[in-house]
Amino acid sequence: MKTIDSIPTSKIQRASKLIQTGAKVGVNYLKYYGDKITKSEKEAKESLNKNNAADIYDSLKQLKGSALKVAQMLSMDKNILPRAYVEKFSLAQFSVPPLSAPLVNKTFKNYFGKQPNQIFDTFNATSINAASIGQVHQATKDGKKLAVKIQYPGVAESISSDLALVKPIAIKMFNIKGKDSDKYFKEVEDKLIEETNYINEVKQSMEMAEACQNIPNLIFPKYYPEWSSEKIITMDWMTGEHLSEFTAHNTDAEKSNILGQTLWDFYMFQMHNLRKVHADPHPGNFLITKDTKLVALDFGCIKEVPNDFYVPYFELAKKENLNNPEFFQSKLYELEILRKEDTKEEIEFFTEMFHELLSLFARPFHVEEFDFSDEEFFGQIADLGERYSKNTELRNMNGNRGSKHFIYINRTFFGLYNLMHDLKATNVKINNFIQY
C-alpha cells in the first residue's frame, strides 16, 4: 500500500483539501446530469454515488483524524448513506494509507524522545494496520511480541476545526437540527479529544480489562505504560481476524452463538455494572482468535453513563412502561425528548415517534433469549429509519431531541446490534451478564 509522507495539519491546509474535494464532487454532478441522457436514473445515481464516495474518501484518508473518524462512524450506519458510501467509508476502519517510515521515525522522536529501535529490540517501520487516528506497528521487547500504536501528527490539534469542516456530515449522521445543537457537537468534540489522549486510553484499557476479566471467552491485550506516552501506546500483539473478516466466511453457527453471547455479555456488563461503556463498537475493534475467543481492542472512547440518564433510559426499555402512556411520557421529559415549551402537536408527534422507535429497539430486552440473525427485525429497523428520514413533518419541527448522552449511547447500541447481526448470533441470553 502506498504510504503518506505528510499530513495537512493547519486549518487552512485541511480546509483547502476539502474545498478541492468539493470541486471534484461538483464535476461528478455535471457528469451525472450528462449520464441521465444516456442512462437510467438508477444507473446514473449509482455512478454519481460511487464517484462521490471515492473522491470524498480519498480526501478524508489523507486528512486522517476526526474527519476520517466521522467516515468510520458513518460506515456503521447502513441506513443513512447509499451503499457506495458505506462500502468505501468502511475502509476507514482498518484500511487507510499509512505514514511513511521517515515520518514514523520523526513522530516517534517528537513524542517519545527516541527512535523506535532505541526502545524496542525490533521494530517494523512498515505499518500493519492504519486507521483514522493512528496506525499500528509490530515490535518485540524482551521476547514479547508487541503492537505499537502511533498517533498521526496534528490529529489532536485539528479536532475543533475538522468538526467545523465536516459539520454537515455530522448533522446528517446524528440527525441534528435547529439552533440549539451546540451541546451535541460539544459531546462529539469532547469524545474525539478523549480518543487522542493515549495516556488516558492506556489507563481506561487496563481498568476495563481488570473489571471484565471474569467474562468467559473474552480476552484483552496487556498494556505497557512504561513503553507508552501521549502519542504512543504499546500493548501485546493479539493474533486473530477482524470480526468482519470472520463473519465473511464463517458458517459455524455454534461459533457465532458463542461469540455473540460473549459480545452481548461484555456490553451489558459494562452498561449495567460499570455504568461506562466501550462506545466505538465497529468490526475493526474486535478480533476473533482461532480458538473462538473474542479480543476487545481500543478503549479510547469510553462513554460514562450518569445515573440520571441510565435510570429513565432503561425504564423505557421495559414492556410494561411502554404500555403505560402517562409513565412513558414522564420519562420522555426526563430524557429531554419532550420539552415544557412544546406545542400539543410536537408532544403528540414525538411521543408517538419515540414509542414506535423504542418498542422496536427494546424488543431484545422483552425476552429471555433473542435471535439477532432475524432479518425481519433488522428490516423493520431499516424501514423505520428510512420512513422517518423522509418524514416532512419531522423536518419542519425542531428535531433536536434528547439528552446529549443519547449520541454515544445510541451509537453504542446501534453498533452492537449490527455486530450481533453480522455474527448471526441466535438464542442470545439477554440477562446472562448478571452472573459476572
Residue 257 lies in a domain: no
Residue 122 lies in a domain: no
Q: At CA 9, angle to CA 166 and CA 131, rounded to 5? A: 65
Residue 204 lies in a domain: no
Residue 225 lies in a domain: no
Question: 171: pLDDT confidence band, cut at 50, 70 and 90?
Answer: low
Per-residue pLDDT at 173? 46
More confident residue, 73 or 124: 124
Average pLDDT over residues 359-373: 96
Range of the domain at 30: 11-92
Per-residue pLDDT at 107? 75
Average pLDDT over residues 129-137: 78
Q: What is the pLDDT of residues 194-236, one digit of tens each?
A: 888 999 999 999 999 999 999 999 999 999 999 998 889 999 9
Average pLDDT over residues 72-97: 48
Per-residue pLDDT at 68? 56
Q: Cβ of 358: how many Cβ atoms within 10 Å? A: 19
DSSP-assigned states of every residue in 343-366:
-HHHHHHHHHHHHHHHHHHTGGGG
CA distance 201 to 203: 5
Residue 171 lies in a domain: no
Average pLDDT over residues 294-314: 95
- Cβ–Cβ under 8 Å, residues 237 and 140: no
Domain boundary among the residues 49, 73, 92 is at: 92
Tell me how many domains the chain contains: 2
Per-residue pLDDT at 330? 96
Residue bearing cell 408532544? 347
Question: 27: pLDDT confidence band, cut at 50, 70 and 90?
Answer: low
Q: What is the pLDDT of residues 392-430, one digit of tens each?
A: 676 666 666 889 898 889 889 988 999 999 999 999 999
Domain boundary among the residues 36, 57, 92 is at: 92
Of 43, 388, 330, 207, residue with least CA distance to 322: 330
Per-residue pLDDT at 37? 66
Residue 423 lies in a domain: no
Average pLDDT over residues 76-91: 48
Domain boundary among the residues 31, 61, 92 is at: 92
Q: Which of 76-80, 269-273, 337-341, 411-415 has the lowest mean pLDDT?
A: 76-80
What percentage of residues in the chain have a pLDDT greater than 70?
69
Per-residue pLDDT at 35? 59
More confident residue, 122 or 64: 122
Q: What sign results for the dihedral spanned by CA atoms 272, 277, 278, 282?
A: positive
Per-residue pLDDT at 152? 78
More confident residue, 164 or 314: 314
Helix (H) or strand (E) holding 146: strand 144-151
Per-residue pLDDT at 85? 46
Write the CB contacts of 387 (distance below 8 Å, at least 6 apart in sequence): none
Residue 233 lies in a domain: no
Q: Which of 57-61, 384-388, 405-409 has the lowest mean pLDDT?
A: 57-61
3-state helix, strand, coil in the chain (%, to 5): 60, 10, 30
Per-residue pLDDT at 241? 95
* C-alpha torsion angle, residues 225, 227, 233, 236 (rounded to 10): -90
- Cβ–Cβ under 8 Å, residues 138 and 145: yes
More confident residue, 100 or 304: 304
pLDDT at 84 over 60: no
Residue 345 lies in a domain: yes
- Cβ–Cβ under 8 Å, residues 320 and 289: no
Of 156, 121, 153, residue with least CA distance to 138: 121
Q: What sign results for the dihedral spanned by CA atoms 1, 77, 84, 34?
A: negative
Mean pLDDT of the chain: 81
